[in-house]
Chain A
Amino acid sequence: MKGLKISKKNLLIIAIVVALFIILGSLIPGFLSIKNLLNIVRQSSIIAIVACGMTMVIIIKGIDLSVTGVLSFCAMVNGLLLLKGWPIPLAMLAGLAVGTLMGLFNGLMVEKLGIPAFITTLVVGNVGGGLALLLNAGKSIGGFPAPYVFMGNGTILGVPVSNYIMILFVVVTSILMSKTRLGVYIYAMGGNETVVKQQGISTATINFFVYGFSGFCIAMAGILLSGQLDTVHPTQGEPYQLDAIAACVIGGVSMLGGEGKVYFALIGALIIGVQRNALNLLGIHPFYQNIFVGIIIIVIVALNIHQKRRTIEHSKIF
């Protein structure tokens, strides 16, 4: 991969971000305050971490619709263990393991049974959502240990701890995608699966890794979120599924597979974060926000596909 080369399209994304900040900054009092901006990046970190896994999944022409349920479930497992007095690292490990296992299960279904990704992930997500409700009879939990809350809400050198973790995820994902064999194979699988098989590359490894990693990212996002809020609500993961997909799509990850960069998904996550924050500050009810995000996704994907069709038509002789 070419690394972070800035194409016209990418420049456009950055321009949109800048424009968004200027417009919103002038429209909404307090939008550009340090406190609010830190708020935005902190909130965006959850979306960005989920988007790391989601980017990979979409690149191999899949989709992960298990975010909602798995995120809540992992957070709930982790939270309950914390309240039981487990040490923080151990409880987190348990949460991460649960997420990874659910992701691996998705990979298994896709690879071995050929179940379309949207089905298996949707089902796993719903099961996760159900388990999250069952575990604590539908009730929220909260009051976690101080260091844990610090991880979600605290800052180091003025930057939220969440964002250090987010940067770690984005950088690791990016290196993985651009500098390792596995990364090449992931792109190759999105480009032409037949070739990948003919080359004797195991699609199982790719599927397991990609879906497992996505599950891992989702679990991490769930854990961070519970730290940020100092609460786990069994349906807490709800907005992040669409947000993460939107972040990828805005960041230029093609829904047709094979194309996309994690760095730009991160920018996509910031855009979504800004958008949510602005709507909040404007006093627009959160219920409207999902409608908004949905429209953004449809418009961008439609434009993307339309553009592709036009290039095909233009490539003809007349």
Chain B
Amino acid sequence: MKKTILEMNAITKFIFDEHGQPLRGTTVKILEDVHFDVKEAEVHVLVGENGAGKSTLMKIIGGIIPADEGEMLLDGEVITFAGPRESLAHGIGFIHQELNLCLNLDVAQNIFLGRERQKKLFIDKASMYTEAREMLLRLGFDIDPKTMVRDLSTAQQQIVEIVKVLSYDCRIIIMDEPTASLTKSEIDKLFAIIHDLRRNGISIIYISHRFEELKEIGDRITVLRDGRYIGTVDIEDFDYDKIISMMVGRKLGAMFQSSHQVQDEVVLEVKGLRISRNTEPINLYVRSGEVVGLSGLVGAGRTELGKSIFGSRTYYGGEILYMGEEIGGLHPSNLIEKGVIYLSEDRKLEGLVLDMSLKDNITMASLKRMYPKTKIDFKREEVVAQESIDKLNIVANSVEQICNTLSGGNQQKVVVAKWLLTNPKLLILDEPTRGIDVNAKSEIYKIIDQLASQGVAILMISSELPEIIGMSDRIYVMKRGAIAAELTDKREFIQEKILSHTL
């Protein structure tokens, strides 16, 4: 029996306000009564949907945020970390999902940041380069430590980050989706490293969404759902369906509904539009009450097409007809007035003002329509926002809550609420369910279906094939900036078939 080195009991984390102070009075908790433990020399995999609380739990272990309730024991002794540095000093390293590197420094400087080798007053660059080179080579990576991190590929940057954390002699290493940007051969190397580490008695907490990986490297799997601890299973008992049902808490299948009816009226027609000088022209149309899926690989030009239609990007020739009227060249604000809406894939950057309240965000795009006489009726604004919150089932304390403190799914609902308030006739959705949990997804699907029933034309860009297949009446597949295929027969809506058009 392996020794337990880290144990967390009854960990609770409340949602917090803009100052990071916990809001204890609410029922909304990020983590509730969570148990977690790590044994010596094991790879403990943590799974759960987005928003399940995995990252929050890891941030508590990593000393980045404190737990509001519960205790953490390291080697049987209660411990709290005041900051990431302290956690690191206790042998806990954290490889973050977002890269934590200085792009303007070189590889060696990044690895040694904060503990530069010194020769008297000055830093000893020569020995730092040699050491960094050795570390990289030992792990099988041939990266010049003098390279600026900016000039590395994302995968190489990830490797630098991993090397950096490994160089701290940690006993526990947290890896938050480390393979997300790695290629197959790099993943193999990483797994070899992980096996090595485990052999040397080091424990790894591994967060991943790729099930095929888990069986290869995991010893135990813990499932979180909605901030709660669901259970831990040994890898020998790994069963795909069981883990899925633990994560989801219910059966899939009822996710997609279709109660809408496609009508004849063509709302959007794109003729011969080129999104770049050297791409093929694009033709497509969307009818009233129709959900049209726009599939394709990342970088196939789907977002560019969406933004071209919405007037927020220049394109190279072609016509865009909306209800028979040419709208090419119009500014987004004119289009919003006409009922054309584009819902950005990046809600944090382009969809929300994170520091503003729910209410302000929801009514933002409709202020002009709601109050043509410049004076804002705040009472009415509140009522309207509250209606949206109720209608879309947004989980929040009040209309005054700051969007930053909402979960991803709820933030996305706020964005949707904002645009619904403008009474759109054409809705271009760009990855409407990215990074949100299954429940919120299914609610978003319901909303899309309802909108289509009301006659709204919907063009849905999505990288998730089940979503495209489940929701669409028709599917366009994009490849290299052009339409590669149009699928009209629902019997053709098969993942393999769509994929074959994208590649």
Residues of B within 8 A of A211 (CB): none
- A191→B104 contact, CB < 8 A: yes
Q: Does B116 contact A (CB under 8 A)?
A: yes
In chain B, what residue has the closest Cβ to A254? B104
**Which single residue of chain A is at the shortest CB-CB distance from B100?**
A195
Partner of A192, one of B64, B102, B114, B277: B102
Residue interface mask A191-231, B partner, CB < 8 A = 1 = 11011101111000000000000000000000000000000
Q: Give me 13 A-to-B residue pairs in the complex whose CB atoms sit less than 8 angstroms apart, sorted by A's number.
A: A2-B146, A185-B113, A188-B113, A196-B113, A198-B84, A199-B85, A200-B83, A200-B114, A259-B104, A316-B299, A317-B299, A318-B276, A318-B304
Q: Which of A79-87, A138-146, A176-184 contacts B (4 or more CB under 8 A)?
A: A176-184
Question: Is A130 an interface residue, CB under 8 A from the partner?
Answer: no
Residues A192 and B301 in contact, CB atoms below 8 Å apart: no
Which of A190, A194, A199 has a CB less than 8 Å from the CB of B104? A190
Whether A195 touches B481, Cβ cut-off 8 Å, given contacts A188-B113, A200-B83, is: no
CB contacts (< 8 Å) of A195 on chain B: these are: 100-102, 110, 113
- Total interface residues on A, using CB and 8 Å? 24
> A132 CB to closest chain B CB, in angstroms?
36
Interface SS of A by simple majority: helix
In-complex Cβ contact of A318 among B85, B116, B275 (8 A) = B275
A240 within 8 Å of B (CB atoms)? no
Q: A191-B104, A198-B64, A258-B103 are in contact. List 20 more A-B contacts (CB 8 A).
A: A179-B122, A180-B121, A180-B123, A181-B116, A187-B104, A188-B104, A191-B103, A192-B100, A192-B101, A195-B110, A196-B113, A198-B85, A258-B102, A259-B104, A316-B299, A318-B276, A318-B279, A318-B301, A318-B480, A318-B481
Chain A, Cβ-Cβ closest to B103 = A191
Does B26 reach chain A (CB closer than 8 Å)? no
Let me know if A258 and B104 touch, CB within 8 A: yes
Within the complex, what minimum Cβ distance (angstroms) separates B81 from chain A?
12
- Residues on A with C-beta less than 8 A from B88 are 200
Instruction: Look across to chain B and name the residue whose beta carbon is closest to the beta carbon of A257.
Output: B104
Q: How many A-B residue pairs have CB under 8 A?
A: 73
Kindly list chain B residues whose C-beta atoms are within 8 Å of the C-beta of A190.
104
- Chain B residues touching A, majority SS: loop
B104 with A184: CB separation less than 8 A: no
A residues less than 8 Å from B276 (CB atoms): 318
Task: Scan B302-344; emit 1 where CB is below 8 A from any A CB, else 0.
Answer: 0010000000000000000000000000000000000000000
Tell me if A198 and B100 are in contact (CB < 8 A): yes
B105 within 8 A of A: yes
In the complex, how many angstroms separate the beta carbon of A204 from the nearest chain B beta carbon? 14
- Most chain B beta-carbon neighbours within 10 Å: one of A185, A191, A198, A317: A198
Minimum CB–CB distance from B479 to chain A (whole Å) comes to 11
* Given A192-B103, A199-B85, A318-B481, CB of A184 within 8 Å of CB of B113: yes
In the assembled complex, B130 has its CB within 8 A of some CB on chain A = no
Taking CB atoms and an 8 Å cut-off, the chain B residues in 97-125 that contact chain A are 100-105, 109-110, 113-114, 116, 118, 121-123
Docked Cα-Cα span, A167 to B118, in Å, equals 26
B116 A188 Cβ-Cβ under 8 A: no
A190 CB, nearest partner CB in chain B, Å: 7
B278 contacts chain A at the CB level, 8 A cutoff: yes
Q: Which residues between 133 and 181 of chain A lie within 8 Å of chain B, taking CB atoms? A: 175, 179-181
Query: Which residue, of A179, A184, A316, has the highest number of chain B Cβ atoms within 10 A?
Result: A184
Contacts of B278 in A (CB 8 A): 318
